[in-house]
């Protein structure tokens, strides 16, 4: 396995709708190896909780959700899922803003993602194929739902910066500072 190079923000591949895959394509050695490399890349990167194939230069509808504790979100629970040909079938409730960033779109001078509060649904129903090509239908909630919506947007050529005003972007350092303040205030209230 290898760490894959991330696609630059101005690369047109990020604006194209990704090609859906057949079960035969999914089971090919090439696609299985790509999934392993995307997972490995996510595991080795300090930042980031998901990565789609177009973010590593392949315009095919694969997303790896690889949630782990990060410096700005130290309390995240580990969650791993491979979603192929993902479709959001149903949404529940109102959208709620949550911090997010993207390693492929806006990064600061230290290579860290810029962050913004992006409104997304806190509960969604998705259909997708897993890495074995088997169809899945699930209801996902919370932070995982937020990440899946971000990665599904990638598959459709949509970037998180399309959903916000650019003036709302903050540096990762500022996000971490605000997150720490929020976490400290929550602990003080208990």
For residue 74, give the DSSP letter. Answer: T
Residue 150, helix vs strand vs coil: helix
Sheet with strand 135-141: strands edge to edge: 50-52, 62-67, 79-101, 115-129, 135-141
Cα→Cα distances 149→70, 157, 190, Å: 19, 12, 32
Both tokens assigned to 113: 């993602």
The token pair at 57 is: 């230069």
In three-state secondary structure terms, 19 is strand
Catalytic residue selected from 141, 151, 174, 189: 151
151 is a catalytic site residue: yes
What length is written for the chain?
190
Helix, strand, or coil (residue 121)? strand
Catalytic residues, by residue number, are 151
């Amino acid at each position: 396995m290898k760490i894959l190079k991330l696609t630059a923000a101005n690369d047109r591949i990020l604006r194209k709708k990704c090609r859906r895959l057949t079960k035969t394509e999914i089971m090919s050695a090439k696609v299985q190896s790509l999934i392993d490399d995307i997972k490995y890349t996510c595991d080795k990167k300090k930042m980031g909780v998901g990565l789609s194939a177009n973010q590593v230069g392949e315009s095919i509808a694969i997303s790896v959700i690889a949630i782990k504790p990060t410096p700005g979100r130290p309390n995240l629970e580990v969650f791993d899922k491979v979603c192929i040909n993902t479709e959001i079938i149903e949404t529940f409730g109102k959208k709620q803003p949550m911090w997010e960033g993207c390693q492929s779109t806006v990064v600061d001078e230290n290579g860290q993602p810029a962050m913004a509060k992006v409104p997304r649904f806190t509960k969604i129903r998705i259909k997708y194929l897993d890495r074995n090509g088997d169809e899945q239908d699930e209801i996902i909630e919370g932070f995982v739902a937020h990440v899946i919506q971000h990665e599904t947007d990638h598959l459709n050529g949509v970037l998180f910066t399309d959903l916000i005003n650019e003036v709302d972007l903050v540096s990762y350092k500022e996000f971490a500072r605000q997150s720490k303040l929020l976490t400290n205030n929550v602990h003080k209230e208990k």
